[in-house]
Structure 1
Amino acid sequence: MHPTDHESAPSQDPHHPLREDIRLLGRVLGDTVREQHGEATYELVDQIRRHSVRFRRADDQAARQALEATLDSLSREQMLQVIRSFSYFSLLANIAEDQHQIRTQRQAALTGHAATEGTLEHALGRFAAKGLDAQQVLDLIGHAQIAPVLTAHPTEVRRHSILHEQMQLARLLRERDLTPQTPEERAESEEELRRIVLTLWQTRLLRPTKLSVLDEVANSLETHERTFLREVPRLYSHLEDRLRADLKQARAPQADELELPNFLHVASWIGGDRDGNPFVTAQVLDSALRMQAECVLRHYLAELNNLGLELSISALLANPSEALLNLAARSPDQSQHRQDEPYRRAISGLYARLAATYQQLVGRKPARPALGEAPAYETAAELLADLNVIHRSLKANGSVSLTRGRLRQLRRAVQVFGFSLAPLDLRQNADVHEQVIADLLEAAEPGSQYLALPEEQRVARLLDELQTARPLYSPHIDYSELSRGEIAIFQQAQLAHQRYGSQSIAQCIISKTASVSDLLEVAVLLKECGLLKPARGADAPTLAVNIVPLFETIGDLRAAPAIMDALLSQPLYRALLQSRGDVQEVMLGYSDSNKDGGFLTSGWELYKAEIGLVEVFARHGVRLRLFHGRGGSVGRGGGPSYQAILAQPPGAVQGQVRLTEQGEVIAAKYGQPETGRRNLEVLVAATLTASLLPPNKDVPPEYLDVMEELSATAFAAYRHLVYETPGFEQFFWESTVIAEIAHLNIGSRPASRKKSTSIDDLRAIPWVFSWAQCRIMLPGWYGFGSAVEAYVQKHGEAGQQRLQAMHANWPYLSSLLSNMDMVLAKSDLAIASRYAGLVSDKALSEAIFGRIQAEHDRTVRHLLAVTGQTALLERHPELQRHIADRHPYLDPLNHLQVTLLQSFRERQQRNEEPDERVQRGIHLTINGLAQGLRNSG
Structure 2
Amino acid sequence: MNVSAQTESHDKQLRARVKLLGQLLGEVIESQVGRATLDAVEKLRRGYIQLRKQDDPELRQSLINFIEQQTPENLILIIRAFNIYFSLANLAEEEHQYHDRQSQLKSDGPLWMGSMLQTIGEFKEAGLSSDDVSKLLSRIKYIPVFTAHPTESKRRAVMENLRRIFVTLDGLNEAETHNNSYTKQDVIDKLRYQIQVLWKTDEVRQSKPTVSDEIRNGIYYFRQSLFQSVPQVYRYLERALSRHYPDIAHQVPPFLSFGSWIGGDRDGNPFVTHQTTREAIYLQSRSVLYEYEKRLLELSAMLTHSRHICDIHQDVINRATIVDADLLEKVFHKRAERFKDEPYRRFLYLMRGRIRENLAYIEARLNNEQPQSSSRFAYSSEDEFLADLHLIHDSLCNHGDHSVANATLKDLIRLVETFGFYLMRLDIRQESTVHTEAVAELLSHLDIDYNALDENDKLALLAKHVASATIIDTQHLALKPMTVEVLEVFNVLRELRKEISPKAFNNYVISMTHEASHVMEVLFLAHQAGLAGYNAGKPYCDIHITPLFETIEDLEHIVPVTENLFNNATYHALLKASGNQQEIMLGYSDSAKDGGNLSSAWSLYQAQQKIMKVADAFEIDCRLFHGRGGTIGRGGGPTHMAILSQPTGTVRGEIKFTEQGEVLSYKYSNSETASYELSLGVTGLMKASLCLVTDVAEDNPAHLNTMEQLAKDGESAYRLLTDHTEGFFKLFYEATPVNEIGLLNIGSRPSHRKKGNLSKSSIRAIPWVFGWAQARLTFPAWFGTGYALDEWAKRHGQAGLLDMYNQWPFFRALLSNIQMALYKTQLITGKEYCEIASDRAQAMHIYNMIAEEHTRTVDYSLSVSGNPYLMAETPSIALSLQRRNPYLDPLNHIQIVLLKRYKDENVTEQEREVWLKPLLNSINAIAAGMRNTG
Tell me which of 156, 162, 167 is aligned to 1:160.
156
> Which residue number corresponds to residue 323 of structure 1?
315
Q: How does 1:574-613 map to 2 (within 5 A)?
A: 574-613=572-611
- How far the C-alpha of 1:183 sits from its partner, in A, is 2.6
- How far the C-alpha of 1:89 sits from its partner, in A, is 0.8
What SS does the aligned partner of 2:316 have?
helix
Contact kept, 8 Å, 2:645 with 2:809, in 1: the verdict is: yes
Contact kept, 8 Å, 1:9 with 1:16, in 2: the verdict is: no
Contact kept, 8 Å, 1:293 with 1:421, in 2: the verdict is: yes
Q: Residue 742 of structure 1 aligns to which amino acid in structure 2?
A: G
Q: Residue 401 of structure 2 aligns to which amino acid in structure 1?
A: S
> Which residue number corresponds to residue 534 of structure 2?
534
Contact kept, 8 Å, 1:624 with 1:656, in 2: the verdict is: no
- How far the C-alpha of 1:121 sits from its partner, in A, is 1.3
Q: Residue 621 of structure 1 aligns to which amino acid in structure 2?
A: E
Tell me which of 189, 192, 211 is aligned to 1:194.
192
> Which residue number corresponds to residue 306 of structure 1?
298
Tell me which of 541, 556, 559 is aligned to 1:558.
556
- How far the C-alpha of 1:915 sits from its partner, in A, is 4.1
Change (3 A) 1:830 1:114: same
Change (3 A) 1:279 1:586: same
- How far the C-alpha of 1:874 sits from its partner, in A, is 2.8
Q: How does 1:216-615 map to 2 (within 5 A)?
A: 216-243=214-241, 246-248=244-246, 255=248, 258-331=250-323, 332=328, 333=332, 334-336=335-337, 338-363=339-364, 375-443=377-445, 445-446=446-447, 448-534=448-534, 536-537=536-537, 539=538, 541-615=539-613
Partners of 2:778 and 2:605 lie apart in 1 by 22
> Which residue number corresponds to residue 842 of structure 2?
844
Contact kept, 8 Å, 2:552 with 2:594, in 1: the verdict is: yes
Q: Residue 347 of structure 1 aligns to which amino acid in structure 2?
A: L
Q: Does 1:919 align with 2:891?
A: no
Q: How does 1:197-216 map to 2 (within 5 A)?
A: 197-216=195-214
Q: How does 1:602-641 map to 2 (within 5 A)?
A: 602-641=600-639
- How far the C-alpha of 1:364 sits from its partner, in A, is 7.9
> Which residue number corresponds to residue 115 of structure 1?
111
Contact kept, 8 Å, 1:353 with 1:374, in 2: the verdict is: no
Q: What does the per-residue CA deviation read over 1:757-809, in whole Å, with 9 as the maximum and x for residues that have no partner?
A: 122111101111111000000211111122122222233xxx22211221121
Contact kept, 8 Å, 2:737 with 2:771, in 1: the verdict is: yes
What SS does the aligned partner of 1:550 have?
strand
- How far the C-alpha of 1:584 sits from its partner, in A, is 1.2
- How far the C-alpha of 1:588 sits from its partner, in A, is 0.5
What SS does the aligned partner of 1:14 have?
helix
Contact kept, 8 Å, 2:338 with 2:346, in 1: the verdict is: no
Contact kept, 8 Å, 2:862 with 2:868, in 1: the verdict is: yes
Report runs of 4+ in structure 1 exceeding 6 Å deviation.
6-10
Contact kept, 8 Å, 2:117 with 2:236, in 1: the verdict is: no
What SS does the aligned partner of 2:425 have?
coil
Change (3 A) 1:559 1:24: same
Contact kept, 8 Å, 1:87 with 1:928, in 2: the verdict is: yes
Contact kept, 8 Å, 1:330 with 1:349, in 2: the verdict is: no
Contact kept, 8 Å, 1:134 with 1:246, in 2: the verdict is: no
Q: What does the per-residue CA deviation read over 1:111-146, in whole Å, with 9 as the maximum and x for residues that have no partner?
A: 111232111112111111111123212212223321
Partners of 1:127 and 1:626 lie apart in 2 by 25
What SS does the aligned partner of 1:657 have?
strand
Q: Residue 714 of structure 1 aligns to which amino acid in structure 2?
A: G
Partners of 1:171 and 1:7 lie apart in 2 by 30
Partners of 1:430 and 1:805 lie apart in 2 by 43
> Which residue number corresponds to residue 646 of structure 1?
644
> Which residue number corresponds to residue 935 of structure 1?
932
Partners of 1:424 and 1:80 lie apart in 2 by 39
What SS does the aligned partner of 2:625 have?
strand
Q: Residue 444 of structure 2 aligns to which amino acid in structure 1?
A: E
Contact kept, 8 Å, 1:508 with 1:548, in 2: the verdict is: yes
Q: Identity rate of aligned residues, in percent?
A: 35
Change (3 A) 1:469 1:778: same
Q: Residue 31 of structure 1 aligns to which amino acid in structure 2?
A: E
Q: Residue 267 of structure 1 aligns to which amino acid in structure 2?
A: G
Q: Residue 353 of structure 1 aligns to which amino acid in structure 2?
A: R
Partners of 2:777 and 2:455 lie apart in 1 by 42
Partners of 2:55 and 2:117 lie apart in 1 by 45
Partners of 2:357 and 2:74 lie apart in 1 by 57
Change (3 A) 1:821 1:765: same
Contact kept, 8 Å, 2:902 with 2:913, in 1: the verdict is: no
Q: What does the per-residue CA deviation read over 1:190-232, in whole Å, with 9 as the maximum and x for residues that have no partner?
A: 1111111111111111111100111011111110112222221
What SS does the aligned partner of 1:338 have?
coil
Change (3 A) 1:611 1:604: same
Contact kept, 8 Å, 1:313 with 1:341, in 2: the verdict is: yes
> Which residue number corresponds to residue 747 of structure 2?
747
Partners of 1:470 and 1:590 lie apart in 2 by 39
Q: Residue 774 of structure 1 aligns to which amino acid in structure 2?
A: A
- How far the C-alpha of 1:852 sits from its partner, in A, is 1.6
Contact kept, 8 Å, 2:633 with 2:780, in 1: the verdict is: yes
Q: What does the per-residue CA deviation read over 1:567-586, in whole Å, with 9 as the maximum and x for residues that have no partner?
A: 12222222222223222111
Partners of 2:111 and 2:196 lie apart in 1 by 39
Count of equivalent residues? 913
Give the TM-score of the pair, scaled to structure 1.
Answer: 0.94
Q: Residue 74 of structure 1 aligns to which amino acid in structure 2?
A: Q
Give the TM-score of the pair, scaled to structure 2.
Answer: 0.95
Structural RMSD (CA)? 2.2
Contact kept, 8 Å, 1:153 with 1:664, in 2: the verdict is: no
Q: Residue 518 of structure 2 aligns to which amino acid in structure 1?
A: D
What SS does the aligned partner of 1:506 have?
strand
Contact kept, 8 Å, 1:428 with 1:511, in 2: the verdict is: yes
- How far the C-alpha of 1:489 sits from its partner, in A, is 1.0
Contact kept, 8 Å, 1:650 with 1:695, in 2: the verdict is: no
Partners of 1:582 and 1:497 lie apart in 2 by 20
> Which residue number corresponds to residue 805 of structure 2?
807
Of 634-643 and 615-624, more deviation after overlay is shown by: 615-624
Q: Does 1:24 align with 2:20?
A: yes
What SS does the aligned partner of 1:648 have?
coil
- How far the C-alpha of 1:345 sits from its partner, in A, is 1.1
Of 541-550 and 355-364, more deviation after overlay is shown by: 355-364
> Which residue number corresponds to residue 893 of structure 1?
891
Change (3 A) 1:640 1:365: closer
Contact kept, 8 Å, 2:440 with 2:450, in 1: the verdict is: yes
What SS does the aligned partner of 1:275 have?
coil
> Which residue number corresponds to residue 794 of structure 1?
795
Q: What does the per-residue CA deviation read over 1:375-402, in whole Å, with 9 as the maximum and x for residues that have no partner?
A: 1111111111111221122122222222
- How far the C-alpha of 1:472 sits from its partner, in A, is 2.6
Q: What does the per-residue CA deviation read over 1:825-854, in whole Å, with 9 as the maximum and x for residues that have no partner?
A: 010111011111111122321222222222
Contact kept, 8 Å, 1:577 with 1:584, in 2: the verdict is: yes
- How far the C-alpha of 1:69 sits from its partner, in A, is 3.7
